[in-house]
């Protein structure tokens, strides 16, 4: 028996960091969608048929975020879609971005109202994420918003891939978005591939604030690696994940700061970066508290 509450959303790398290399995505149809700047929330039904929300790292989000999501115009549609899936003997986890009214976590947007936008749906029956078309169809019938599709490509060379990636990021810049998420659904990927998420699926993300290292000259030196600083947006995103996980206790520095340090450490590991000397986590934390108090 599958515990649907344990279904987590995967962490995504940039294409250049995929293993064994970015060339793994060549020759596949790639869908590029907007990366919204909010809080990653997964919605599912418990055994009693009640709607529950999970955060990136916790089976249940904090009560504060239950209040946020329950107040959205999208909540009735979320409930309807989950109940409809259950009627057909399937369990969904509807993953989306909770965009809380006010300044976004990485300060790239101002949200006029609190709302929820779907970016993925996990099906227990098929044990995989649905493709974009299926997600769009499922959400269309209950009037649930889905992240915008920016474009698609089928690149056969890395130069072609990077060129199209840059086009997508230019569109994101014009839209005032922080970046894009690229997704492949193709059964030629399998669970043995290092980049696969599950049975024929590969996702990666590209952001405006990350350097295009694949286009720069490269030199290999001996000695200890001198890693780049972690982008500020990743620090702010980690802080927001902590807020989603602990809700009102976020204002308690003794609880929040150790978690922030752990989450930022994990982002450094994933992105092969280090925390810069001028990147004070406590200062970022204080600034976020000030913004929430405004």
Angle between helices 253-271 and 232-246 (to 10 degrees): 140
Sequence spans of domains, the chain: 4-215, 232-293
3-state helix, strand, coil in the chain (%, to 5): 40, 20, 40
Neighbours of 68 (CB within 10 A): 24
* 44 alpha-carbon distance from chain centroid: 17
Dist CA 200 CA 220 (whole Å): 34
Whether residue 51 is predicted with pLDDT greater than 70 in this model: the reply is yes
Residue keyed to tokens 């996980």:
245
Mean pLDDT, residues 129-144 taken together: 97
Encode pLDDT of 196-208 as tens digits.
455 688 999 999 9
Closest CA to 8 of 65, 66, 59: 59
pTM score: 0.79
Look at residue 194 in the predicted model and tell me its pLDDT: 47
Look at residue 191 in the predicted model and tell me its pLDDT: 43
Mean pLDDT of the chain: 90
Neighbours of 34 (CB within 10 A): 22
Look at residue 214 in the predicted model and tell me its pLDDT: 76
Whether residue 193 is predicted with pLDDT greater than 70 in this model: the reply is no
Domain 4-215's class? alpha beta
Residues in the chain: 294
């Amino acid at each position: 028996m599958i515990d649907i509450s344990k279904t987590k959303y995967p962490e995504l790398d940039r294409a250049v960091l995929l293993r064994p290399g970015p060339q793994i995505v060549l020759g596949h149809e790639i869908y590029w969608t907007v990366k919204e700047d909010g809080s990653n929330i997964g919605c599912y039904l418990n055994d009693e048929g009640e709607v529950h929300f999970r955060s990136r790292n916790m089976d249940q989000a904090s009560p504060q975020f239950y209040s946020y999501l329950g107040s959205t115009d999208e909540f009735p549609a979320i409930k309807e879609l989950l109940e409809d899936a259950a009627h057909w003997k399937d369990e969904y986890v509807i993953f989306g971005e909770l965009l809380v009214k006010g300044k976004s976590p990485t300060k790239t947007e101002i949200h006029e109202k609190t709302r929820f936008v779907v970016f993925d749906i996990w099906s227990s029956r098929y044990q995989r994420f649905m493709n974009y078309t299926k997600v769009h169809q499922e959400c269309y019938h209950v009037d649930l918003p889905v992240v915008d599709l920016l474009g698609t490509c089928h690149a056969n060379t890395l130069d072609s891939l990077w060129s199209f990636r840059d086009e997508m990021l230019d569109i994101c810049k014009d839209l005032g978005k922080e970046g894009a998420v690229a997704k492949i659904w193709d059964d030629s990927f399998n669970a043995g591939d290092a980049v696969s998420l599950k049975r024929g699926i590969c996702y990666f993300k590209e952001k405006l604030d990350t350097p295009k290292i694949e286009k720069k000259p490269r030199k290999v030196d001996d000695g200890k690696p001198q890693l780049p600083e972690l982008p500020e947006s990743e620090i702010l995103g980690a802080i927001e994940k902590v807020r989603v996980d602990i809700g009102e206790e976020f204002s308690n520095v003794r609880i929040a700061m150790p978690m922030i340090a752990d989450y930022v450490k994990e982002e450094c590991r994933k992105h092969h970066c280090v925390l810069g000397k001028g990147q004070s986590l406590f200062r970022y934390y204080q600034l976020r508290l000030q913004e929430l108090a405004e």
